[in-house]
Structure 1
Amino acid sequence: MDVLIVIAIVAVVVIVVLAVLAALIFGGLRSSIFFTVRTQENVIVERFGKFKKVAKPGLNTKVPFVETTTRPISLRVQQLEVNIETKTKDNVFVTVPVAVQYVVGEQNVVDAYYRLANPEEQIRSYVFDTVRSALSTLTLDSAFESKDDIASSVEQRLSESMATYGFRIVNTLVQDISPDQRVRDSMNSINAAQRDRVAAQALAEADKIKRVTQAEAEAESKRLQGEGVAAQRKAIAIGIAEQYEMLRRAGIENTAEQLLLMTQYFDTMQDVARNGRSNVLFLPSNPGTIGDMTAEIRNSLLAAQEVEYARDQSDTDIEADNRQGDHDRRIEAQRRQAEEARYSHQSAAQAAAGHAQGHPQGAARLPQRPDRHPGN
């Protein structure tokens, strides 16, 4: 009986112990011993606040009540948005949103966790300082053109600074440079005015090319038209000459002009009838006046010939008068020369006679020069 009681007591104790162990294992104790780490994350295990190890992804263990774990440290690429308000060289306040993409290296988890208390604020400080330093030396227009250079400067400085703390800068993006709304409106107005000016110049150049091309086309058309008219007139003249020659050989030379004019008349009337838009006639409207027109043409030709003959005769008479006047002037000059010679001879003879008679002064009176006669 006593043995049974002892066995029962032992069994109850064992059951209680097993229940307590089960409760500890499958309850809070299990969570104190075992823990899991997700992919692309690391967890630091500390023993009494001192670094013990880095737990990798998967199932890990720790000593309960002795070791503790830190928050998970992500190994994925993270992005930090930083909005910076600063002033450019030409005193324009702008807002620059910068996106910094960074990652913690797997071998640098300990430095990334222990060396920086707040890594995001540290990155913000570097971005603020770098962007403000860069924009202070650039005007607004230069800042828009140098956006990629600013991003490269920020990335270079962050990479050098944050590498010490276990962070690797993947990329730095300057998303925009946003000035005040009024400044943007002014810039848009300036750009619109410049584009309008370029458009006006392009339109003017196009209109110039159009006008020059049209003028060249008109000049070429007129040149070709003139050549065509000249060729037509030449062909007509050749045709009329051939027809006149044919009529002359046919023995109707006296009436050839009337026949040709009659033929041209009927051709013209036929063209007027064919082209209804013609409303001007350069020839009489009935055949009966062809003879009158022929007579007028013949009279005009004869009058022109008479005028030409009279002009030639007048020129001939003028030339004859000129030649006669030249002959008279030559005769007059010869007469004057003869009188001069005679006067000189008489003067010399009288002077010699005076000396011979004892007149030291020569002749008392000399004959008068021919050019001093009253008639001259």
Structure 2
Amino acid sequence: MGAIFILIPALVILYLSIVIVQQGNVAVITIFGKYSRIMTPGLNFKIPFIEFVFRTISIQNRSAELQFQAITNDQANVYFKAMLLYTVTDNSEDQIKNVAFKFIDQANFMQALVRSIEGSIRSFVATKKQAEILGLRNEIVDDVKANLDHILNGWGYHLLDLQINDITFDEEIVKSMSRVVASNNLKAAAENEGQALLITKTKGAEADGNAIRISAEAEREAARLRGQGLAQFREEIAKGMAVAAAEMEKAHLDPSIILFSLWTETMRQVAQDGKGNVIFMDGSVEGFDKTMKQMMALNQNSENKQKK
């Protein structure tokens, strides 16, 4: 019977001496309210009634959802939804002591952490305009991390990540921003259409100018060729007349007959190729005599020029 009375208290003392710390946690031990040591995961022993487990601290990553409001430089309300990821800096004794004794409990720590993040974001947003906020998501996160890292290190924590999942504005601001975007899109479309029309007009003008230039060059070349043909035609006529005149002199005939023949051929050609034109010709003897004299005078004038 006496052995039972000894065994039961021994078992109670042994039970009270055993401390099992779960993986990913660290137990903080105090003696009469003063920090003594830490216990790592696994089976540990403490002195019953003297050592107490003050707090079990998780060294795993923790997350928290945040919702808060900020005001921009141009007095627009911005609403943020963010996800915070943080953890204990490491499981060293100094860091565990910071985590265990800096705050009364976890709720007070979370309140200080959330308010610090909100204050950092609000101070950053207060320097920006509403139109800039949506494009500064990464800059906001970087600014918060830079401001809070040293503060959290003093508390024994490290900020792993801050993700801003949603940024919204008041309904009126959203509507006005939509109108601005729509008007900018219309402006860009009008500018693009204007540029396209300008390009079309420019290309059309260039094409017309090229066509006119090509046509003018073709006309100039045609005129040159016509002039060359006419000159060659006149040269051939002159050669033919010279040969005919020489033959007439050999036959002791009047060279004016050649002029008469050319004149009659000309009249026949005019009558043949004419298209409804009325040509009056003096067919009388006086008229013919007058024409012959004029032609002989032209011939005589040409000979005098050649002699000179």
TM-score category (smaller protein): 0.5 to 0.7
Q: Which residue of 1 aligns with 2:20?
A: 35
1:150-165 to structure 2, matched below 5 A, reads: 150-165=140-155
CA separation of 1:258 and 1:67: change in aligned 2, threshold 3 A: farther
Separation of aligned partners in 2, 1:292 and 1:137? 93
1:186-265 to structure 2, matched below 5 A, reads: 186-246=176-236, 249=239
Judge conservation of contact 1:83–1:95 (CA < 8 Å) in 2: yes
Separation of aligned partners in 1, 2:57 and 2:39? 10
TM-superposed CA distance for 1:238, in Å, is: 1.9
- The number of residues matched between the two structures is 256
TM-superposed CA distance for 1:187, in Å, is: 0.2
Please report the TM-score for the alignment, with normalisation by the length of structure 2: 0.65
CA separation of 1:61 and 1:298: change in aligned 2, threshold 3 A: farther
Separation of aligned partners in 2, 1:296 and 1:57? 129
Indicate whether 1:94 and 2:78 are aligned: yes
TM-superposed CA distance for 1:247, in Å, is: 5.6
CA separation of 1:166 and 1:246: change in aligned 2, threshold 3 A: same
Gaps of 5+ in 2: 245-257, 282-308
1:214-240 superposed Cα distances (whole Å, 9 cap, x missing partner): 102211211111111221232133234
Q: Which residue of 2 aligns with 1:139?
A: 129
TM-superposed CA distance for 1:289, in Å, is: 4.5
Residue type at the aligned position of 1:85: Q
Separation of aligned partners in 1, 2:161 and 2:2? 65
Judge conservation of contact 1:258–1:291 (CA < 8 Å) in 2: no
Separation of aligned partners in 1, 2:17 and 2:232? 132
TM-superposed CA distance for 1:190, in Å, is: 0.7
Identity value in percent? 20
CA separation of 1:149 and 1:298: change in aligned 2, threshold 3 A: farther
Judge conservation of contact 1:86–1:95 (CA < 8 Å) in 2: yes
TM-superposed CA distance for 1:162, in Å, is: 2.9
When Rg is computed on C-alpha atoms for both structures, the one with the higher figure is 1
CA separation of 1:166 and 1:231: change in aligned 2, threshold 3 A: same
Q: Which residue of 1 aligns with 2:295?
A: none
More strand by share: 2
TM-superposed CA distance for 1:211, in Å, is: 0.4
3-state SS of 1:44 partner: strand
CA separation of 1:229 and 1:297: change in aligned 2, threshold 3 A: farther
Judge conservation of contact 1:36–1:58 (CA < 8 Å) in 2: yes
Judge conservation of contact 2:55–2:100 (CA < 8 Å) in 1: no
Judge conservation of contact 1:85–1:95 (CA < 8 Å) in 2: yes
TM-superposed CA distance for 1:115, in Å, is: 1.2
CA separation of 1:34 and 1:74: change in aligned 2, threshold 3 A: closer
Please report the TM-score for the alignment, with normalisation by the length of structure 1: 0.55
Which segment drifts farther, 193-202 or 234-243? 234-243
Residue type at the aligned position of 2:62: Q
Q: Which residue of 1 aligns with 2:60?
A: 76
Judge conservation of contact 1:44–1:53 (CA < 8 Å) in 2: yes
Q: 2:29 aligns with which of 42, 45, 59?
A: 45
Q: Which has the higher contact order (CA 8 A, sep 6+)?
A: 2
Separation of aligned partners in 2, 1:213 and 1:58? 84
CA separation of 1:291 and 1:161: change in aligned 2, threshold 3 A: closer
Indicate whether 1:111 and 2:98 are aligned: yes
CA separation of 1:186 and 1:219: change in aligned 2, threshold 3 A: same
3-state SS of 1:38 partner: coil
